Structure 1
Amino acid sequence: MYSHYVNAGETNPDQYYKNKNIKVTGSVAAVAYGKAPNSCWVTLKTDQGNGANIVCYFGTNVIKGSFTVEIGSHIEITGICMGLTDGRIIFINSLTDDILLEPYDQNIEA
């Protein structure tokens, strides 16, 4: 997918991916643990050597506090592709069976 965005040629990658529910697999490059909606995400490595990534935001779900995501682990995430922004492909409302998620609870202290 990332290669298609950076080497689009005659086709517009947005017509294939943008605003669609897409499943991606990859190695975890980074994780952000947050306590509020859209404050936690997982970044997956791409096959490009330039540090480009796919950033998957979990929307109103957050990573369960006791769960640890290992850098380098291989996971599968499904989310809505928002296209390429600042060299990264952005997914929103992402879900995965490989990470324990829980709904954001505004009563939990940040």
Structure 2
Amino acid sequence: MSESLWSDNSERTISGICYGIASMLQSMGESAMDMLATEDFCLLFDSLEPLMKCNGSATIRLSAACLIGQCLCSYDPTFSTAERSSQLTAWCCWQLRDKLLSEDVALLLS
């Protein structure tokens, strides 16, 4: 991962994107499943993965856990492919193994 990826995308921006998408999914209710099924959303979500895996930021980790949880609440077979489900499971396990795991992140991941 390049250094410019982190310098060009601040903690506040990345967490804002994650919380914004999660909030949008939550407010859409059942319509969120239609959005999860779009190719554009799947591409956006997949491109956020390297930004959401920030070791040094509890803020990003919490906002990413919120987004992951919201996506899992709105199950859609197009979004929840075997590969993406495997990635989400691996990401949750990665979060839970962290020495600096906060109670908030642990609750969102459980």
Specify if TM > 0.5.
Answer: no
As a proportion of its length, which structure holds more helix?
2
Larger Rg: 1
As a proportion of its length, which structure holds more strand?
1
TM-score range, shorter-chain basis?
A: under 0.3
TM-score, with normalisation over the residues of structure 1?
A: 0.27
